[in-house]
Amino acid sequence: MIIIAIQIARIRVIIYLSSINILQQMPYQDIQFSTAELNRYQRHLSIPGFGLEGQQKLKAAKVLVIGAGGLGSPLLMYLAAAGVGHIGIADFDVVEDSNLQRQVLFGEADLGILKVEAAKRRLEALNPHIRILLHPEKLSAQNALNILKDYDLVADGSDNFPTRYLVNDACVLLGKTNVYAAVSRFEGQVSVFNYPDPQGNFGSNYRDLHPVPPPPGLVPDCAEGGVLGVLPGIIGSLQALEVVKVITGLGQVLHDRIFIFDGLHFETRIFKIRKRADNPLNGENPTISQLIDYEEFCMMQSPGKPVRELSAAEFLQWQASGETFQLIDVREPEEYAAANIGGELIPLSAILKSEHQISRELKVVVHCKSGSRSAKAIRDLEKEFGFENLYTLKGGIEAYLQLDRHSPVDFTR
């Protein structure tokens, strides 16, 4: 009986290897696999309808992941483990303590290191058969098209509206599919934008879902509103699933629809997204044919007159020249405790109740992490109390510390 079982096993192996050799002759850039790769991906190879052909498509694919944070961590790990052959990572940030609550790609040994470099090391340890390409720079209208053009599709895991609109517009202009995801507090969402049908007609994109961004400060970022640590793992994994489906052509891709997950009540919803005739990219009368200034575009959605801005360089000049001013920090207490530049802490939620603490005689510089909350605080104060001496620190504490980490202002970390 043992001898018979061994012979049957040998026959199964021969049949299995023969089927692989036949499949490898199919045209997917003649992608070949080593024995080590075949062993690694055998659970994929055994899936009916996926098999070696699906794995060949994965190995041939070039995917750019925007953001190596909460969403990017599970997304990158599963794409790497799945065998996506070329993975680009676009992120200019470094690993911080507050990241480790949800960004499972990193550990304490990575603190202070560029996320792209720490991610590359981790992903290559996970799968040495793939290639990781790094883009340690902030995406902008000047570099986005050049970075995106060499990839087959994009997975957007960014955490701010200017980048989402930038990535969307670049994908539409280049004819790339954009697998999108976002998280906040207990809720996440996933969709696939600019996905072509068999006739080559592209589906809905981010501007069909959100024609204009919300006013700055209306939607809290993760620092202000928080996010449950496991949520990016759930949503980032779903995002990875859609990337794999787009690459392999299997299943029903989540295009022209958006999936909403409410983790607090464990409820899911799917809404249809209809293409808008007034979409400025590909509607009936398109007006956008090149990338724009997306920071300015998102700020323009704010009601009322523009907020006075003070650049980080100008702020440093004020300090150096002995300019007298009041500095107010509108972030949350835990953010302030982690790092501050000596401002008076008045969280955005309490700003209108603290009007008496704000000078009307001195120049007042208001700052947050990146500039959105400080701009909202100023608009609210100007509207309710008629302040005319308020300045928002453009780019927030992030811009200031990048410009001069040895500033004369007291910095606590």
Active-site residues, by number, are 222, 368
- Rounded CA-CA distance 408/235 in Å is 42
Q: 223: closest CA among 312, 96, 342?
A: 96
**Structural tokens at position 100:** 């480790």
Spatial strand order of the sheet with 86-90 comes to 131-135, 86-90, 62-66, 153-156, 177-184, 187-193, 257-262, 267-272
- Please answer whether residues 370 and 386 qualify as being in contact, where contact means their C-beta atoms are separated by less than 8 angstroms: no
Between CA 245 and CA 222 the distance in angstroms is 29
* Nearest-angstrom CA–CA distance, 251 and 177: 16
Beta-bridge mates of residue 190: 181, 259
- Most distant CA atoms of the chain, gap in Å: 96
- Please tell me the distance from the alpha carbon of residue 44 to that of residue 48, in angstroms, as a whole number: 9
